[in-house]
């Protein structure tokens, strides 16, 4: 008998600490000596806090959305009585969320204790690294990665073996490997979850990369907003040192390598590799011109290999199972699996890993369960602020680098924000431009000022002051900004606007010419009114109105004074009878 509890950031935010405390209290009161282990996130964020009960006969039962009040019942009925509390168990339907996936990068997430290297080793950890050091030459390692067809998971999808090889071939010493854990795309959390749930596999991938390119040191650049990831990584590095996987003369092979962590300081552009390197050197995180690429002149102008967290997490699996096994999954040009962070208006938000080539529909509907409240699907944003929005007509697009790029979005790092009929596409474009405009480092003026101008136009449109010609101006600026920017931030900043104009031009036109927001999101374009036939005169809306724009006697229909209304929407939210209308 054993209890396992999900202790990733999402689990903790959903209340896992309180649940754990309740279990510990009940166990000690009853004198039960049952081990409780903590694990990371198994991806089912929508069901957190998650508890697994391992029976005597090895059966596993998963409880979802566990509240402290439920703990007593689970203990009495299941742990002591042997009868699972069926109504709290995760439904078979929800289990489909996991069963339909293929887990390579996430293979250990939710299954092992991320704070224990022994747990990682018990599931095969560090065998790939040992195999590389003792049985393979660096060239053979690179060859295996080449066979696997692994491409970078950080956004651009560059072949990993090519970068490794370039770094290996480059002249100069010492060489470095860097792990890009800056995860700047707001709305994506694959890298956080991986580092929190299985830090060792990312480290092992980096160590193998270090061996392959001939580096002595590896650096993690982790986003400062991820304190738990940093803590677990620190622990794992210390444990790996104690086991002799890091340090001098590792496993007696003469190979020396060590890892360290640098916390980022909050700048989206620092996810861009040359900006990241500038930041590591203690400077403002401004991108540098490429070439020279980091593989030739990177950290301190030395050959540097830089990869994303998920890219590294795939590496030990590839070396254990062979490049061909990885290449057997996916499509002709996009091999293997990819992790996606499902969020937004989706029923089952969380982390999923699927073979490349599955369609968006399969991920969003079959795995993600579709839209909350069964509303109408409108689009899915892929690639965050650098990506674009894919409309419902293209839901059958297969997920591979080329097909996604064709839609005007990008694969990006794996963020998938699902949007429904209540999401305004012009507002989304405005939201992303607001983000990139703030995050532009200011080096290139097309990026610095162009994004500002685009934001002004989008602000104008969403506040009901859009003019004829605005759409065309946005299109023109988009092209100019892309042409005039040095790094990927500027080169992709117009993407959200361009793709929403491409697929949802009618929404832009509604805003500009009819002064209407069909998604009912842009406040200045809305008119609230009270339907006299439905209003019961309960007075709740009048009480909640912050500007006393609603008047009327008790039990008589109320009226809303348009000249006073500030369109806060309070009346709409509080009316129980559906008497408040928005147009």
Ligand X SMILES: Cc1cc2nc3c(=O)[nH]c(=O)nc-3n(C[C@H](O)[C@H](O)[C@H](O)COP(=O)(O)O)c2cc1C
Question: Does 186 help bind ligand FES (rule: CB under 6 A)?
Answer: yes
* Residue among 262, 288, 452, 502 that touches another protein (CB under 8 A): 262
d(CA 297, CA 288): 11
Question: Does 462 help bind another protein (rule: CB under 8 A)?
Answer: no
Structure tokens at 419: 């949007």
Question: Does 145 help bind ligand X (rule: CB under 6 A)?
Answer: no
Of 343 and 455, CB closest to ligand FES: 343
- Interhelix angle for 495-509 vs 425-439, to 10°? 150
Number of Cβ within a 10 Å radius of residue 583: 10
The DSSP result for 55-97, as a single string, is -TTS-EEEE-S--HHHHHHIIIIIIIT----GGGBPPHHHHHH
- Find which of ligand FES, another protein, ligand X, none residue 226 binds, CB within 5 to 8 Å per kind: another protein
- Find which of ligand X, ligand FES, another protein, none residue 282 binds, CB within 5 to 8 Å per kind: another protein
Question: Does 279 help bind another protein (rule: CB under 8 A)?
Answer: yes
Instruction: Judge contact between 257 and 244, C-beta under 8 A.
Output: no
d(CA 414, CA 191): 10
Question: Does 46 help bind another protein (rule: CB under 8 A)?
Answer: yes
Question: Does 344 help bind another protein (rule: CB under 8 A)?
Answer: yes
In the region spanning residues 370 to 389, those forming contacts with ligand FES, defined by CB under 6 A, are: none
* Residue among 6, 11, 125, 154 that touches ligand X (CB under 6 A): 154
What is each CA distance from 334 to 326, 361, 404, in whole angstroms? 11, 18, 11
Of 9 and 47, CB closest to ligand FES: 9
Please, which residues have CB within 8 angstroms of residue 573's CB and are 6 or more apart in sequence? none
Radius of gyration of the chain measured on its C-alpha atoms:
26
Question: Does 485 help bind ligand X (rule: CB under 6 A)?
Answer: no
Of 186 and 398, CB closest to ligand FES: 186
Of 388, 150, 439, 139, the C-alpha closest to 268 is: 439
Please, which residues have CB within 8 angstroms of residue 231's CB and are 6 or more apart in sequence? none
The DSSP result for 426-460, as a single string, is HHHHHHHHHHHHHH--SSSHIIIIIHHHHHHHHHH
User: In angstroms, what is the minimal distance from the CB of 50 to another protein?
Assistant: 13
- Find which of ligand X, another protein, ligand FES, none residue 82 binds, CB within 5 to 8 Å per kind: none
Owner of token pair 């930041």: 279
Question: Does 271 help bind ligand X (rule: CB under 6 A)?
Answer: yes
Question: Does 284 help bind another protein (rule: CB under 8 A)?
Answer: yes
Residues forming the site for another protein (CB under 8 A): 9-10, 12-14, 45-46, 48, 183, 185-189, 192-193, 223-227, 262-268, 279-285, 300, 341-345, 349-350, 381, 384, 415, 417, 419, 423, 428, 431-432, 435, 441, 568
Residues that bind ligand FES (CB under 6 A): 186-187
> Which residues of this protein are in contact with ligand X, per CB under 6 A?
152-156, 158, 180, 182-184, 269, 271-273, 306-308, 311, 413, 487-489
């Amino acid at each position: 008998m054993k209890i396992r509890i999900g202790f990733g950031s999402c689990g903790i935010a959903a209340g896992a600490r309180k649940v754990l405390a309740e279990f510990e209290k009940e166990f000690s009161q009853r004198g039960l000596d049952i081990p409780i282990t903590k694990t990371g996130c198994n991806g089912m964020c929508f069901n957190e806090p998650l508890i697994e009960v391992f029976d005597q006969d090895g059966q596993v039962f998963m409880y979802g959305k566990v509240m402290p009040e439920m703990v007593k019942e689970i203990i009495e009925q299941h742990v002591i009585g042997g009868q699972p509390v069926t109504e709290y168990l995760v439904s078979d339907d929800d289990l489909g969320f996991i069963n339909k996936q293929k887990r390579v990068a996430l293979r250990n997430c939710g299954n092992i204790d991320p704070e224990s290297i022994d747990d990682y080793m018990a599931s095969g950890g560090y065998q790939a690294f040992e195999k590389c050091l003792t049985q393979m030459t660096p060239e053979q390692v690179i060859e295996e990665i080449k066979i696997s067809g692994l491409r970078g998971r950080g956004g651009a999808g560059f072949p990993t073996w090519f970068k490794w090889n370039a770094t290996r071939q480059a002249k100069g010493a010492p060489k470095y490997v860097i792990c890009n854990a800056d995860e700047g795309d707001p709305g994506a959390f694959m890298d956080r979850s991986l580092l929190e749930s299985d830090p060792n596999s990312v480290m092992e991938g980096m160590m193998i990369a270090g061996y392959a390119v001939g580096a002595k040191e590896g650096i993690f650049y982790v986003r400062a907003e991820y304190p738990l990831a940093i803590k677990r990584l620190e622990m794992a590095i210390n444990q790996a040192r104690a086991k002799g996987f890091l340090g001098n003369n590792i496993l007696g092979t003469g190979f020396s390598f060590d890892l360290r962590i640098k916390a980022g300081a909050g700048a989206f552009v620092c996810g861009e590799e040359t900006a990241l390197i500038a930041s590591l050197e203690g400077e403002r995180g401004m991108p540098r011109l490429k070439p020279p690429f980091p593989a030739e002149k990177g950290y301190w102008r030395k050959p540097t290999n830089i990869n994303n967290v998920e890219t590294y997490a795939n590496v030990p699996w590839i070396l254990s199972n062979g490049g061909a096994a990885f290449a057997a999954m996916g499509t002709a040009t996009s091999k293997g699996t990819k992790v996606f962070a499902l969020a937004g208006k989706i029923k089952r938000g969380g982390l999923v890993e699927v073979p490349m080539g599955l369609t968006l529909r399969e991920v969003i509907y079959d795995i993600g369960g579709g839209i909350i409240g069964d509303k109408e699907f409108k689009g899915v944003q892929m690639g965050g602020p650098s990506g674009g929005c894919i409309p419902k007509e293209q839901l059958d697009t297969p997920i591979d680098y080329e097909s996604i790029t064709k839609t005007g979005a990008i694969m990006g790092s794996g963020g998938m924000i699902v949007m429904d009929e209540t999401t305004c596409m012009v507002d989304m474009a405005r939201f992303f431009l607001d983000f990139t405009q703030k995050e532009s480092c200011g080096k290139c003026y097309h990026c610095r000022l162009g994004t500002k101008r685009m934001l002004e136009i989008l602000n104008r449109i969403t506040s009901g002051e859009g003019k004829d010609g605005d759409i065309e101006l946005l299109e023109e600026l988009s092209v100019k900004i892309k042409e005039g920017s040095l790094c990927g931030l500027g080169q992709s900043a117009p993407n959200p606007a361009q793709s929403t104009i491409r697929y949802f031009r009618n929404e832009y036109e509604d805003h500009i010419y009819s002064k209407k927001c069909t998604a009912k999101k842009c406040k200045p374009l809305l008119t609230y009114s009270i339907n006299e036939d439905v209003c019961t005169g309960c007075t709740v809306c009048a009480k909640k109105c912050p500007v006393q724009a609603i008047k009327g006697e008790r039990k008589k229909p109320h009226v809303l004074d348009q000249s006073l209304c500030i369109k806060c929407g309070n009346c709409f939210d509080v009316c129980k009878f559906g008497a408040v209308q928005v147009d």
